[in-house]
Amino acid sequence: MDVITARTGGSLDYTFYLKQKDVNGLEGTFDLSNATSIGIYLQRYGESTLTVSSTMTIASATEGKVRYLFNLSGFSEGDYLGEIIAYTPTEKVPSQFFLLRLEKSLPR
């Protein structure tokens, strides 16, 4: 599981490269040309509701490159489980989970 570490408060503009495996188990770029939308979902560990349920920006469909601007001002420090789902006209394709670890910012 990939881990993204950031500080609470402010924002984080993050780029993800979505991958997929073929029938032989070889990893390659997930082409998003047929995607109708890309969803991002975050849930804080120990919570039962989603903290984030939003759409992402496709930066390059053929490279599987998507971006999301996390507004972290309302987030508490801790670990958040994340998932990205690509929606096409015929299916929804979930990513592997990732971890967003938020650390407390130093006082200023």
Compute the average pLDDT of residues 85-106.
89
Which domains are present in the chain? Answer: 2-103 (2.60.40.10)
Q: 95, 82, 87, 77: which is closest to 53 by C-alpha?
A: 82
Q: 43, 36, 38: which is closest to 54 by C-alpha?
A: 38
Compute the average pLDDT of residues 63-89.
91
pTM reported for the whole predicted model:
0.85
d(CA 45, CA 78) in angstroms, rounded, equals 8
Structure tokens at 51: 């903290």
What is the separation of C-alpha 55 from the centre of its chain, rounded to a whole number of angstroms? 10
pLDDT in tens, 4-51: 888 888 888 999 998 887 777 778 888 899 999 999 999 999 999 999
Q: What is the pLDDT of residue 32?
A: 92
pLDDT in tens, 48-57: 999 999 999 9
Q: What is the pLDDT of residue 79?
A: 95
Compute the average pLDDT of residues 57-61.
94
Q: 91, 92, 106, 80: which is closest to 39 by C-alpha?
A: 92
Q: What is the pLDDT of residue 29?
A: 86
For residue 84, pLDDT over 90 is answered with: yes
What's the chain's average pLDDT? 89
